Structure 1
Amino acid sequence: MTRLLLLGGTAEARALADHLVAAGIEVTTSLAGRVADPRLPVGLVRVGGFGGIDGLRAALADYDVVVDATHPFATTMSANAAAACAAAGLPLLRLERPGWVQRAGQAWHWADSHIHAAQLAARLGGRPVLTIGRQHLAAYLPALADASVLARVVEPPAISVPPRWSVVRDRGPYALPGELTLLRDHRADVVVTKDSGGDYTWPKMVAAQDLGLPVVIVRRPDRPAGVPAVSNVEAALAWVLTGGQGDL
């Protein structure tokens, strides 16, 4: 039986685990442990880090194949997985949902970093809504310390926020009516997000367009070189069923 390590924490990872368990694959999903009450996939689950590349490489002795289905911005985990799998000689696949594609009429402004995004937001408005997660909030303090910011996070921020900032704890998936209410109630004039892609958080993008608001989007980081990648669960499943030897 194929033993698979699934680096998860995304909707795609949970869906892939469903298919793999149904196909008789022994799946262990690894979660980072940053969320207090995560949505658990089927199959075996481990929570917490591996201790860097060396720790992950040691853990790979228990597996035959690895799928990295972490968030598009989980750069450290993806880099560690690429290095550890290369050292261990294990097949590795990256499952990553496509990024969002800008179309005519969408007032999107692309940023190369969170600091750049904060600077763009400060120029575009004074009542931004930040949906970039709690880990990067500190990058927005220099440019937005005096702005009326609404930051939506899953877990409480690890930093003290300025007096004019408000923090809302909420977890998706989100629906359009709720996103419209959030932006209207805050009287938002700009939205800041990451290029997470997919449908899970797309309603806020629709809400921003409906309200005529500009959106600042942090570009995705580059994925590790040399790692084959697919953009949907079906392709990942087919690859795993070949033992990681199939063509993509």
Structure 2
Amino acid sequence: MILVLAGTLDGRQLAVDLVGEGHEVLLSVVSEYGGELARNSRLTVRVGPLDQFELVAFLKQTPIRMVVDASHPYAANASQNAMTACRDAGIPYIRYERPAVPLPEYERLYEVYDAAQAAKTAAKLGNIVFLTTGSRALSLFKGEPLLADKRLIARVLPEPAVLKECLELGFSPRDIVAMQGPFSHALNVAMFEEFQAEVIVTKNSGQVGGSDTKISAAMALNLPLIVISRPKINYGAAGYSKQEIITLVKEAFLCNI
């Protein structure tokens, strides 16, 4: 059985593709919402977070022969935990890395290394900062002293726990956009205009994550655009497409026969 770690659309699609290749697959997702989406694809699903030690125990207690890590490109801790757990359990680890969007030549684009640098950079560029980075780094933006007198708009998934977190961090309901993406170029333009955004902050989550249309919308409005770079991780065996992953899985099984 292959354990696929995923919570995103392309991760779920990859699990379906592996089933189509004749593999028995268990999909692991963190949230109940992700579980619902996966069950709609008729996948066998496990819901709930797994830290490194829980994952090691899970791998030893179940007939998992391989892990395919299709977690979000910025879920560095999840990937590091999975690699360590696979080494401890003595099973192959394969990474599916969603292709990034090539960054255009745009004089108002600022590529930064992490959310902390993004927060400091945003504070210099405008008073209304539209955050399209997901919910995990919101506390960092809210806690940055340089942003204390700025208006922060958070676009996040419409999940109860995420909305609760936003409110607890001090986001006003009028500054929370709870919608499921990805969003079209036109809708991004409309949102940025509606909130009178002066700075856009995003991650390079690839076309599947809607990075292309966020970038094009910011450029169309001539807005400063801050892009947080992906964490640099040596995954070892990694593929960037469905076919590459299928080939790596086949090779890994042959090597472990």
TM-score computed with the length of structure 1 as normaliser: 0.89
1:241 to partner: Cα distance: 2.9
Q: Does 1:112 align with 2:121?
A: no
Counterpart in 2 of 1:44?
A: 44
Structure 1, unmatched stretches of 5+, are: none
Aligned pairs for 1:12-91 (under 5 A) are 12-33=10-31, 35=33, 39-40=37-38, 41-50=41-50, 52-61=51-60, 62-91=63-92
**Residue aligned with 2:181, SS:** coil
Percent identity for Structure 1 against Structure 2: 31
Q: Deviations over 1:83-103 (max 9, x none)?
A: 111111111111011223222
Does the alignment pair 1:150 with 2:153?
Answer: yes
Pair 1:168-2:177 in alignment = yes
Deviation of 1:39 after TM superposition, in Å, equals 2.2
CA contact (8 A) 1:239 1:245 kept: no
Alignment partner, residue 201 of structure 2: 192
**How far apart are residue 36 of structure 1 and its match?**
7.2
Q: For residues 179-237 of structure 1, what are the alpha-carbon distances to aligned partners after superposition, in whole Å with 9 as ceiling and x for unaligned?
A: 111011111111001221234312111111111111111111122x3521111122112
Label 1:209 to 1:242 Cα distance change in 2 as closer, same or farther (>3 A).
Answer: same
Encode CA deviations 1:14-55: one digit per residue, 9 max, x unaligned: 1111211112211101001275775214421001123x3222
Structure 2 CA distance for partners of 1:163 and 1:6, relative to 1, 3 Å: closer
Please state which structure has a larger fraction of its residues in helix: 2
Counterpart contact for 1:146–1:164, Cα < 8 Å: no
**CA gap 1:129/1:112 in 2 versus in 1, 3 angstroms:** same
Q: CA RMSD in A?
A: 2.1
1:6–1:69 Cα contact (<8 Å) kept: yes
Q: TM-score, normalised by structure 2?
A: 0.86
Equivalent residue of 1:149, what SS? strand
- Amino acid across the alignment from 1:156: L
Is 1:177 aligned to 2:186, yes or no? yes
Within 1, Cα distance between the matches of 2:52 and 2:171?
37
Distance 1:20 1:37, change over 3 A: closer
Alignment match, 2:129: 128
CA distance in 2, matches of 1:106, 1:235: 35
Q: Distance in 2 between matches of 1:232 and 1:124?
A: 37
SS of 1:135's partner is coil
Distance 2:254 2:187 in 1: 44
1:238 aligns with 2:238: no
Separation in structure 1 between the aligned mates of residue 116 and residue 95 of structure 2, nearest angstrom? 27
Could you tell me whether the CA contact under 8 Å between 1:26 and 1:43 is conserved in 2? no
Q: In structure 1, what is the Cα distance between the partners aligned to 2:27 and 2:109? A: 35
Closer/same/farther in 2, CA of residues 165 and 37 from structure 1, 3 Å limit:
farther
CA–CA separation in structure 2 for the residues paired with 1:149 and 1:94: 34
Alignment coverage as a number of residue pairs: 242
Moved more, 147-156 or 98-107: 98-107
2:221 to 190, 193, 211: 211
Contact 1:106–1:209 (8 Å) recurs in 2: no
Indicate if the aligned counterparts of 1:135 and 1:157 stay in contact, CA closer than 8 A. Answer: no
Secondary structure, aligned partner of 1:110? strand
Change (3 A) 1:230 1:59: same
Partner of 1:10: 8
CA distance in 2, matches of 1:10, 1:135: 15
Q: Aligned with 1:49: secondary structure? A: coil
AA aligned opposite 2:228: V
